[in-house]
Structure 1
Amino acid sequence: MNVIERIEHWGDAHHPRWLDVVRIALGIVIFLKGVTFLADTESLRQLIEQTHIKIYTWGIVHYIAFAHLVGGILIAIGLLTRVAIGFQLPVLIGAVFFINSTRGFSFLNSELWISLVVLVLLVIFFVIGSGPYSLDHQMRERRT
């Protein structure tokens, strides 16, 4: 049993059921953030350009919107949860360390705190998995 399988086994064995409600809420919040990004892609583009990182800005804007929309749905229903979180982690790490750092690390920067909470929850669910109320769990049950 390799390290990843041991982490998955530990996460499945130590997953309280109430955390599924948190996972579903997290997926919905991420999905809604993707909807707001699609509604105003110009402000997202300007936000990324403020970091002065030389990247293809429109490509990143589309990646963020797609990752939030699809990833949010997958996290909420618990399907391929770790894969969806894997696509979310670079976005949230960038949001915490690059985007929100331009606004300053203060208690008044509410976007920073929301991004930090979402990042911590994503890391938690990456380790412990999707839980018993998920499509991943239902598919695993049907296989055995």
Structure 2
Amino acid sequence: MQNRTTVERMSDRELVVTRSFDAPARIVFEAWTKPELFRRWWAPKSMGMFLRSCEMDVRVGGGYRLVFGHDDSQPAEFFGRYLEVTPPSRLVWTNDEGGNGGPVTTLTFEEKGGRTLLVMRELYPSKEALDAGAGAADAMSEQFEQLDELLATL
């Protein structure tokens, strides 16, 4: 069965992305929280991007820093801190690279029959911030396909 990524604007400030994965929640959670796994699927390959560095201290109050780039471009940094870490069902973090304009991201992992439904909610501080950041959701389908490929090997 083909897994499909859906992206839906729930309000002026909230974007919700859903996807089912053919793996137990524990494994999907690890792919989001272990740097050695995360770096293998997060950067969209079609854009020629890769993670130059991936630092993750996945605990309440811990932080993350992701540095993306192309071979010939200025790197882009994404960073924030973890607000909630409940393995293997829930993960919440801030996106601080935009100052106060970044969303808070909440992931829930719901397992049924060895499959995991991932629901990703991004709550932005304003409609303008969501409008500015919504383009990143376009890459999620490719990223989640790459995650599917990784999960098949674990």
Give the structure with higher Rg (CA).
Answer: 1
Q: TM-score scaled by structure 2?
A: 0.26
Q: TM-score scaled by structure 1?
A: 0.27
Which of the pair is proportionally richer in helix? 1
